[in-house]
Amino acid sequence: MHSRLGPLAALATSAFLLAGCASGGSTPAATTAAAMTSSPTAMTAQACLPVPGDSLVVLTDDKHLQNSDNVIPAVNAKTAEDASVMAALDVVSAALDTSTLITLNKAVDIDRQTSSEVAAKFVADQGLTAPKKGSGKLTVGAANFSENITIAEIYGAVLRDAGYDVTVRPIGNRETYMPALESGEVNVVPEYAATAAEFLNHKLNGDSAPPVASGDIAVTTAALADLGAKVGLVFGTASAAQDQNAFAVTTAFAAKYNVKSLTDLAKNCTGIALGGPPECPQRTFCQPGLEKVYGINVTDFSALDAGGPLTKTAIRKGDIAVGLVFSSDGELAS
């Protein structure tokens, strides 16, 4: 399990997180590669052998296999009555997309800057200012992983510009900060739409409740708004930034086989070697989804980790062709 507790903790509990080895461990990708034909012909589907390379690129999930885990502000209902708060948060949402999130994460996780430093620079560089003024004290909470803390710091900076006295406080996992948000002990938290929707769905309707989130962010946020209203929460405008499961290849692989999306992968490759967390072959959003939604032929699976160093190293070394990563990983920065 990845150490991040934002989108991932609830994904694990609501069967969103992928993972799982087929049976009895993995077969080395090299063995599979040797069994594959290796004479690619332009414009013809072929067995796509892994291609080593230092840089990684995420393939577009053009059929929305993954649920829409867009970054979205979660706000205590009483706090949300203040239009100046919501307007300030909307300014941040408008400035965030996935490539921006990758850059922010690289600055913190790889370049080792602090979240507060990165947030302050981002706000200044983007010229983010609050459109309305307000006053009073606010606490912006955060889950205990760097990406969420950085976004919380950005929220805090723009809310200060609006005139509020803001404290940014890392709290812990969703099970800890959600009750604090509902009670008003915390006023605002950066959330992830699909994961938050399923967390509240299970809380209100039980663990066996049918899923309400989807790959369509409009559908997901509509469900989220309805669920939030029942527990005293309001959700602001969803950003374009997503932190969710994704599938990456090397840029060299993408160029060699002319693939930019998972549909391209299915069309151009008769077989691929996949790597990811051990439960991947059993999880809807991992190997079964690639096979059923896209028609991708997974000829070999290597049990590695969930978007961690084992998977990313295996992609780069050419041990696997495709690996499960997180869409906002700082290592995806170009």
The pLDDT of residue 12 = 37
Q: Quick one: which of 231, 272, 219, 221 has its CA closest to 248?
A: 272
Provide the residue-wise pLDDT of the chain in tens; the chain has 334 residues.
Answer: 333 433 333 333 333 333 333 333 444 444 344 444 343 434 478 999 999 999 999 999 999 999 999 999 999 999 999 999 999 999 999 999 999 999 999 999 999 999 999 999 999 999 999 999 999 999 999 999 999 999 999 999 999 999 999 999 999 999 999 999 999 999 999 999 999 999 999 999 999 999 999 999 999 999 999 999 999 999 999 999 999 999 999 999 999 999 999 999 999 999 999 999 999 999 999 999 999 999 999 999 999 999 999 999 999 999 999 999 999 999 998 6
Range list of H helices, the chain: 7-13, 29-35, 77-80, 83-95, 98-105, 115-126, 146-161, 174-183, 193-205, 217-231, 251-257, 262-268, 287-294, 309-317
What SS3 state is found at 319? coil
The residues, ordered by sequence, that sit 6+ positions from 120 with a Cβ below 8 Å of its Cβ are: 153, 157
Looking at residue 229, its pLDDT comes to 98
Distance, CA of 208 to CA of 247 (rounded, Å): 28
- The bridge status of strand 165-172 relative to strand 137-143 is parallel
Q: State the pTM of this model.
A: 0.86
The CA-atom distances, in angstroms, between 104 and each of 119, 123, 147, 230 are 8, 11, 8, 33
d(Cα 145, Cα 23) in Å, to the nearest integer? 33
Other C-beta atoms lying within 10 Å of the C-beta of residue 2? 18
- The structure tokens listed for 192 are 């992830």
The edge-to-edge listing of strands for the beta sheet with 71-76 is 165-172, 137-143, 188-192, 71-76, 233-235
Q: What is the pLDDT of residue 44?
A: 72
Please name the residue that has the structure tokens 């009670």: 183
Cα 111 to Cα 299: distance, rounded to the nearest angstrom: 37
Which domains can be identified in the chain, with CATH numbers?
A: 12-65+244-332 (3.40.190.120), 71-235 (3.10.105.10)
